[in-house]
Amino acid sequence: MAETIKMTRPLISAEAISKSYFKGQHMIPVLQGAGLKANRGEFISVIGQSGSGKSTLLHVMGLLDSPDIGEVILDGNRIDNLNQSARDQLRNHVFGFIFQFYHLLPELSLLENVMTPLMIRHSIFSYWAKRKEIRDAAMDIINQVGLGHRIKHRPSELSGGEMQRGAIARALVGKPEILLADEPTGNLDAVTGGGIMELLNSLNENQQLTIVMVTHDEAIAAQAHRTVRLAEGRIQLLAREEAA
């Protein structure tokens, strides 16, 4: 099994990533040569203490942030050094993001929130031409996450678990290849969080969605295929886990 994995080209890899922040005069090194590879269809969790750099690593992989040193490689091609518009294109088409606090737009309904990523891909004219197609795609993914009965609700009228399902629908409506999840259950009780993990596992299994999830919670991390630990700025040795 180890040999098969070695021969496969990773779908996404972060290679020897270093990144520091400045607080006044002080340089705070966060990532110091962190490396992470995910094969197509893999579900990886990255565990680490608060402040260990998990979000920073995820942001660098998804082109929300740039490394000081190191490379991000997508299917064999370096992507972190592309120009801004190419990076924007990749961010909008290849990556889907979900966050601890959902980041749904409060003034929009669930359906409108989920339609937004597809709407911004179009000019106003092509949007009107494609309006039905966009709505159907949004309805389809909303049904898949189990929220078909909530489309007119605003985020404030949804529970935490429903908001995260909505955020997952919004992240996936554009059919990204890679879902980057930053503490997706961090604001949810254990049962609701378990439901979100079941949904992520079923999306991974049924659609071969590649998922990189960061969390500080060992029990949540163990529900992915494979867990790595981020500590002292680097990815530490692997602990393999079978999916539950």
Helix (H) or strand (E) holding 106: none
* Minimum separation from the CB atom of position 212 to ligand ADP (A): 13
Adjacent-strand bridge partners of 18: 32, 69
Other residues' Cβ atoms within 10 Å of the Cβ of residue 118? 21
CB burial class (10 A; 0-12, 13-18, 19+) of residue 221? buried
Q: Exactly one of 10, 13, 53, 212 binds ligand ADP (CB under 6 A); which one?
A: 53
* Minimum separation from the CB atom of position 32 to ligand ADP (A): 12
Residue 185 binds to ligand ADP (criterion: CB under 6 A): no
Span from 3-11, 50-58, 124-132, 168-176 in contact with ligand ADP (CB under 6 A): 50-58
* Closer residue to Mg ion (CB): 72 or 214: 214
Q: Exactly one of 10, 12, 45, 54 binds ligand ADP (CB under 6 A); which one?
A: 54
Residue 227 binds to ligand ADP (criterion: CB under 6 A): no
Residues 6 or more apart whose Cβ sits within 8 Å of residue 170: 104, 113, 114, 116, 117
Task: Give the position of tokens 């997706």.
Answer: 184
Residue 50 binds to ligand ADP (criterion: CB under 6 A): yes
CB burial class (10 A; 0-12, 13-18, 19+) of residue 114? buried
Q: What's the sign of the alpha-carbon dihedral 185, 16, 176, 116?
A: positive
Contact track, Mg ion, 53-92, x by CB under 5 A: --x-------------------------------------
Tell me how far apart the alpha carbons of residues 64 and 96 are, in angstroms, rounded to a whole number: 11
Task: Give the position of tokens 């260990």.
Answer: 52
* Closer residue to Mg ion (CB): 98 or 137: 98
Q: Exactly one of 5, 9, 29, 51 binds ligand ADP (CB under 6 A); which one?
A: 51
48 binds, among Mg ion, ligand ADP, none (CB under 5 to 8 A by kind): ligand ADP
The encoded tokens of residue 197 equal 């993990």
Residue 52 binds to Mg ion (criterion: CB under 5 A): no
CA separation, residue 80 to residues 16, 17, 34, 48 (Å): 13, 11, 15, 24
30 binds, among Mg ion, ligand ADP, none (CB under 5 to 8 A by kind): ligand ADP
Q: Cα(first)–Cα(last) distance of the chain, in Å?
A: 19
Residue 30 binds to ligand ADP (criterion: CB under 6 A): yes
What does DSSP assign to residue 53?
S
Span from 44-52, 93-101, 113-121, 157-165 in contact with ligand ADP (CB under 6 A): 44-52
Residues of this chain that interact with Mg ion (CB under 5 A) are: 55
Residues of this chain that interact with ligand ADP (CB under 6 A) are: 21, 28, 30, 48, 50-56
